[in-house]
Amino acid sequence: MLAFLVKRIGNAVLVMLTVAFFAFLIFRFLGDPVEMMVNESATQSDRDELRGRLGLNDGFLVQYVRFVTNAAQGEFGLSWRNQQSVIGLIAERFPATFELVIIATFLSLVIGIPLGVFTAIGRGRWWAEGLQFSSIVGVSLPSFFVGIILILTFSVTLGWLPGYGRGDVMRIGWWSTGLLTASGRAAVVLPALSLSLFQITLVMRLVRAEMLETLRADFIKFARARGVKRRPLWFRHALKNCLMPVVTLTAMQVGNLIAFALVTETVFQWPGMGMLFMQAVTFVDIPVMAAYLCIVSFIFVTLNTLVDIAYAVIDPRLRNA
């Protein structure tokens, strides 16, 4: 198990170094940092002096190593747009996106898995087929449309939940959380639901398909033959065998959710990284874009590694691999 862990983590570090390399290329060669930082009246010697101070005259490899070392410490320089520290900007926005994505993922699992199990065991009954059909509708609705419908229904018409913003947030160190205040929790419901709807239907359909497959397996027939009751048969024996693809799907989809959050954040005026990135693109704010690339990749790679480890925990056959 230890060798396995070392191998997976080693792979993850390698991938991150590669990503950092591309981020570095963007950072270093897309636009001239000096031009962006000095004002109009600066002389050539001012510029040269700044160039030296920023280390831009050093060798390529030296600069890359410095970039990686800085990035590993969360140091991405200053935003070209407003001269604030990039990591500060991201740190300010990251918790909002993170909480939104986590809640959306959580919803997709706690709603999607039971729905998948029930539509599988109720196959052929009207309610199961009805759910299965509505899930097709769920998959095909665009995310912003779902968001607008949710806002119109629950916020504008019924007035039950807020339709924009994050509500009151509490600070815990540099982290700002909306989950500890009533208004923050109310505010996250609609955007999270909107963001997760697609994911819910995905999880549900995957679990249904996997369950139907697993329920045909010999070991299920044999478990019934030795007297295992239906409930443990479904939720213990069959469902556990379906979880692996669900874990994979979920982890992979978290990356997509962060990307989709861009749309949801815009519709719900959610102050997250998505909105920050949109602004960075508009202003060609290269340091912010490079940092966004590194951080989103870091999340992807970490999740992938966790998936591999989770595999090994769920399925003993993979432990020695």
Partner 1 sequence: MSTASPSPALEVKGLSVEFPTRRGILTALSDVSLTIERGEILGVVGESGAGKSMTGMAVLGLLEPPGRVSSGEIRIAGKRTDNLSDDEMESVRGRMVGAIFQDPLTSLNPLFSVGQQLVETIRLHSDRNRTEARVHAVNLLKQVGIPGAEERIDHHPHQFSGGMRQRVVIALALAGNPQLIIADEPTTALDVSIQAQITTLLRRLCREQGAGVMLVTHDMGVIAETADRVAVMYAGRVIEVGAVEDVLARPKHPYTRGLMGSIPALGARVERLTQIDGAMPRLNAVPPGCAFNPRCPEAGSRCLQVRPTLMPEGQGAVACLLHDGGVA
The residues of the shown chain that bind partner 1, judged by CB under 8 A, are 217-219, 221-230, 232, 237, 240-241, 314-317
Distance of alpha carbon 301 from alpha carbon 287, whole angstroms: 21
Nearer to partner 1, 141 or 223 (CB): 223
Of 196 and 214, nearer to partner 1 (C-beta) is 214
Nearest distance in Å: CB 177, partner 1: 36
Indicate the SS3 state at residue 163: coil
Smallest CA-to-CA distance from 291 within 97, 53, 95, 88 is with 88
- Asked whether the beta carbons of 138 and 200 are under 8 A apart, the reply is yes
How many alpha carbons fall within 13 Å on the CB side of residue 157? 7
Nearest distance, CB of residue 127 and partner 1, angstroms: 18
Nearer to partner 1, 62 or 217 (CB): 217
Nearest to 305 by CA among 265, 261, 223, 248: 248
Judged by beta carbon, residue 53 or residue 229, the one nearer partner 1 is: 229
Residue among 50 and 228 whose Cβ is closer to partner 1: 228
d(CA 24, CA 65): 10
Q: Least distance in Å: CB of 310 to partner 1?
A: 13
| Cβ 237 to partner 1 shortest distance, Å | 6
**E-assigned strand segments in the chain:** 170-172, 175-177
Min CB(244)–partner 1 separation in Å: 9
